[in-house]
A and B are shown apart, each in its own frame.
Chain A
Amino acid sequence: MPTVPPRPKTLISAVMITALALLLSGCAAVTDDAKPTSTAATCTDAPADPLADFVVAKNPRALVGPATACLSGDAIPVPPVSPTPQLPVTVTDNQGTAVTVTDASRILALDLSGTLAATVFALGLGDNVVGRDTSTGFGQAKRLPEVTRGGHQLSAEAILELHPTVVLTDTSIGPWDVLLQLRQAGIPVVVLTPDRSLANVTTIVTQVAAALGVPDSGATLDASLAARIAATKAKIASIAPTKNRLRVLFLYVRGNANVYYVFGKESGADDLITSLGATDVAAQVGITGMRPVTAESLVQAAPDVILVMTKGLESTGGVDGLLKAVPAVAATPAGENRRIVDMSDYEILSFGPRTPEVLAALARALYAS
């Protein structure tokens, strides 16, 4: 426990880590929940392409009522043929450590947001994954044993029991000493960037692919992702109004602990909102990173739509509960029109391989009539 991993200075990681860590630490540390909790209960009939045939609202600002941004199904799209890792490979990880991976047949990809595991599957190496973290619950991974039970108290022995041949992680899960122990026990541990943002989506894919010896698959996935993201952004740009853009605010809520934060610049939320063709109110007001809500500034900002995480919203008692718990929200146009848009906690800011779909789903929630 006494060491601290070298942490990158950017805010995104801090904010991202904060958000999901707050979330996950709120979930009881010892719940014996084997069921993954990432699928939203109300998202059973989401269309495969959220941006195909929906009616664009003429005036998105006039829309009333909450909406949930849904991903269709919970499976990660995988390539038809699994790639063969070209090993051994030596990579310099995010901390400057040279790590040599000789065997990618038993992979553990663990991070706070589930991004790394999703990326491994998207690269076609899902069959090699032997365990999952708490945030990973998509279809193909449901059956895997949950390794990060206690939130942030990894058990080195339990991990070794799975006999992994390579561990991919960032610094969002700990304790750091346990990862050091794994290294000392001879397991290659590759530490990737903990930053999560739109710009980093392809970087993460590249890093994961490099570490697993499938750089070509990584390049292919990168290209495909970049293209799909660009296409989605373009589609959204054509839908979103150019004048009178929607004013959107990302709010982190967790009901019982009275915890409310606004996510601003460099938090990933900013990136997201801007790509949705909306104005990030928090950035406009000058908020960087994560800040506790000040009631008056919230009212001043007057957002049209408030983005929240699904579980967070549930914990405040739904939209009604949220409006009661944070009166400042009720005093905004978003509150008055009950325009609260929620999305699964594990997808909305994870910026993994399903990023294009996430953008599309959110756009649908924002702009569909």
Chain B
Amino acid sequence: MRLRRTLLFSGLGLGLVVATVVSAGSGQLTIAPGQVLGALLHPLGLPAGVLPVDQTAQSALWAIRFPRVVLALLVGAALAASGLLMQAVFGNPLAEPGVIGVSSGAAVGAASTIVFGWSFLGDWTIGALAFASGLAATLLVYLVSRSGGRTEVVTLVLTGIAVNAVTQAGLALLLFFGDTQAREQIVFWQLGSLNGALWRDVLVVAPVALVGIVISLTLSRRLDLLSLGERSARHLGVNVEALRIGTIVLVALLVAVAVAFTGVISFVGLVIPHLMRMIIGPAHLPLLIASVLGGALLLEVADLVARTAVPFADLPIGMLTALVGGPFFFWLLRRTRRRSGGWA
């Protein structure tokens, strides 16, 4: 197991570095690798010697490609971490954040901004509103499904389904009222896209994602204990209710901040943690690290494909992750059914 972990971490780490480098060097704007390196190093004050730097290429890279490369890493990491946390709280490897209404809640917030043309926070309006409404939907689900100071997991799921239904209806209403430009924007946002990523976005997502992931790491031991069941975890000193609320809020934060800027990207939070668990087992600390690395890697590669596959076009990344994640998930299901216990 030690060996497996080491291999996995090194593999993921290496893959991530390679993917990021390749991604930074590729795009529909043809720039020689030397120039890319130069463009990267010059503004950082590092002497890049003979590397030529074309001014337009440099500004193009920094304005367009680099923020996108970084955002892909952050969003991938955040989504994978949130998926793992969700699975820990629900004690079920098939749980995913969409269940508790974060994504669709965030969708309603963002769609409202688009349809009503709100801009009271300037450029931050849509992000802030998606964030706020995603969090609100999650808390609503949580509070409604609580009774007697405890939260039944099944009730949580069912309430999440109800809230999802309501938010979907809200979204349909907004789509109806919106003009078609709004509709187009909303639809593409629902499919997820990193197109148009700006440094302003990165500056919001980065601290939230990083803080969220660090907090998750500190929760790992307690999440391990949660797998023994709620009562047993409590007997071992875990404040289960607080852990649950805290984790759910954390999930909402991580998902909402990703969704607010890149739309709904599915399957990352579902497939990555599951895959990693199959390789290195369920202990949450190493699993979280592996998932964060894996999620970042997946989204980096997916985004590379999304922005270079079709000339002059930018594929919706959520479509790509679903296309790959869906069949993969079916395969996972088939495989785990054969194993005893079915949870592997």
Cβ B314 vs Cβ A154 within 8 A: yes
Given contacts A4-B126, A161-B28, contact A155 B307 (CB under 8 A): yes
Query: Does residue A245 face the partner (Cβ distance < 8 Å to B)?
Result: no
Neighbouring A residues of B193 by C-beta, 8 Å: 1, 153, 175
* B179-236 at interface with A (beta carbon < 8 Å): 179-181, 183-185, 188-189, 193, 195-198, 201
Closest residue on chain B to residue A183 by CB atoms: B63
Query: Does residue B312 face the partner (Cβ distance < 8 Å to A)?
Result: yes
Given contacts A157-B65, A161-B28, contact A1 B185 (CB under 8 A): yes
Cβ B59 vs Cβ A184 within 8 A: yes
Cβ B64 vs Cβ A6 within 8 A: no
Cβ B123 vs Cβ A160 within 8 A: no
Query: Does residue A89 face the partner (Cβ distance < 8 Å to B)?
Result: no
Neighbouring B residues of A163 by C-beta, 8 Å: 56
Cβ B119 vs Cβ A149 within 8 A: no
Bound form: Cα–Cα A157–B64 in Å: 7
Minimum CB–CB distance from B11 to chain A (whole Å) comes to: 30
Closest residue on chain B to residue A150 by CB atoms: B313
Query: Does residue A324 face the partner (Cβ distance < 8 Å to B)?
Result: no
Neighbouring A residues of B117 by C-beta, 8 Å: 4, 7
Query: Does residue A303 face the partner (Cβ distance < 8 Å to B)?
Result: no
Cβ B197 vs Cβ A149 within 8 A: no
Partner of B181, one of A6, A30, A174: A174
Query: Does residue B113 face the partner (Cβ distance < 8 Å to A)?
Result: yes
Query: Does residue B166 face the partner (Cβ distance < 8 Å to A)?
Result: no
10 A-B pairs within 8 Å (CB atoms) are namely A1-B195, A2-B260, A4-B113, A7-B117, A25-B180, A152-B181, A153-B188, A153-B314, A153-B316, A161-B30
Given contacts A18-B179, A181-B64, contact A155 B126 (CB under 8 A): no
Minimum CB–CB distance from A290 to chain B (whole Å) comes to: 8
Given contacts A151-B184, A154-B314, contact A1 B262 (CB under 8 A): yes
Given contacts A3-B123, A4-B126, contact A184 B63 (CB under 8 A): yes
Bound form: Cα–Cα A145–B313 in Å: 12
Neighbouring B residues of A25 by C-beta, 8 Å: 180, 184
Bound form: Cα–Cα A153–B28 in Å: 14
Partner of A4, one of B114, B310, B311: B114
Cβ-closest 9 pairs across A and B: A177-B196, A184-B63, A157-B29, A158-B28, A21-B180, A157-B28, A18-B180, A150-B313, A149-B313
Cβ A17 vs Cβ B179 within 8 A: yes
Cβ A181 vs Cβ B314 within 8 A: no
CB-defined interface of B261-280 with A at 8 Å, one 1/0 digit per residue? Answer: 11100000000000000000
Closest residue on chain A to residue B192 by CB atoms: A1
Query: Does residue B27 face the partner (Cβ distance < 8 Å to A)?
Result: yes
Partner of A158, one of B29, B119, B260, B316: B29
Closest residue on chain A to residue B56 by CB atoms: A186
Bound form: Cα–Cα A1–B315 in Å: 14
| Count of chain A residues with a beta carbon within 8 Å of a chain B beta carbon | 45
Closest residue on chain B to residue A289 by CB atoms: B179
Q: Which of A163, A171, A184 has the most CB of B within 10 A?
A: A184
Closest residue on chain B to residue A155 by CB atoms: B314
Q: Which of B28, B263, B314 has the most CB of A within 10 A?
A: B314
Partner of B195, one of A19, A148, A177, A184: A177
Closest residue on chain B to residue A21 by CB atoms: B180
Using A18-B181, A147-B312, A156-B64 as known contacts, list a sample of 19 further A-B pairs with CB atoms less than 8 Å apart, ordered by residue number in A. Answer: A1-B263, A3-B126, A4-B119, A14-B179, A17-B179, A17-B180, A21-B181, A149-B310, A150-B310, A152-B188, A157-B29, A157-B60, A160-B64, A175-B185, A175-B193, A177-B195, A180-B198, A184-B198, A186-B63
Minimum CB–CB distance from A9 to chain B (whole Å) comes to: 9
Cβ B56 vs Cβ A185 within 8 A: yes
Cβ A181 vs Cβ B198 within 8 A: yes
* B260-304 at interface with A (beta carbon < 8 Å): 260-263
Query: Does residue B251 face the partner (Cβ distance < 8 Å to A)?
Result: no
Size range of the interface on B? 35 or more
Query: Does residue B110 face the partner (Cβ distance < 8 Å to A)?
Result: yes
Neighbouring A residues of B110 by C-beta, 8 Å: 2
Partner of A2, one of B60, B123, B312: B123
Closest residue on chain B to residue A112 by CB atoms: B181
Query: Does residue B127 face the partner (Cβ distance < 8 Å to A)?
Result: yes
CB-defined interface of A1-27 with B at 8 Å, one 1/0 digit per residue? Answer: 111101100000011011101100100
* A284-326 at interface with B (beta carbon < 8 Å): none
Partner of B29, one of A147, A160, A176: A160
CB-defined interface of A162-200 with B at 8 Å, one 1/0 digit per residue? Answer: 010000000110111110111011100000000000000
Minimum CB–CB distance from B180 to chain A (whole Å) comes to: 4
CB-defined interface of B106-120 with A at 8 Å, one 1/0 digit per residue? Answer: 000010011001010
Neighbouring B residues of A270 by C-beta, 8 Å: none
Bound form: Cα–Cα A6–B119 in Å: 9
Closest residue on chain B to residue A2 by CB atoms: B126
Minimum CB–CB distance from B138 to chain A (whole Å) comes to: 20
Bound form: Cα–Cα A6–B195 in Å: 19
Query: Does residue A146 face the partner (Cβ distance < 8 Å to B)?
Result: yes
Partner of B197, one of A6, A148, A176, A177: A177
Neighbouring B residues of A30 by C-beta, 8 Å: 310, 313
Given contacts A1-B185, A157-B29, contact A146 B119 (CB under 8 A): no
Neighbouring B residues of A3 by C-beta, 8 Å: 123, 126
Bound form: Cα–Cα A148–B314 in Å: 10
Minimum CB–CB distance from B130 to chain A (whole Å) comes to: 8
Minimum CB–CB distance from A166 to chain B (whole Å) comes to: 14
Bound form: Cα–Cα A258–B123 in Å: 36
Neighbouring A residues of B315 by C-beta, 8 Å: 150
Given contacts A7-B117, A21-B180, A155-B195, contact A181 B126 (CB under 8 A): no
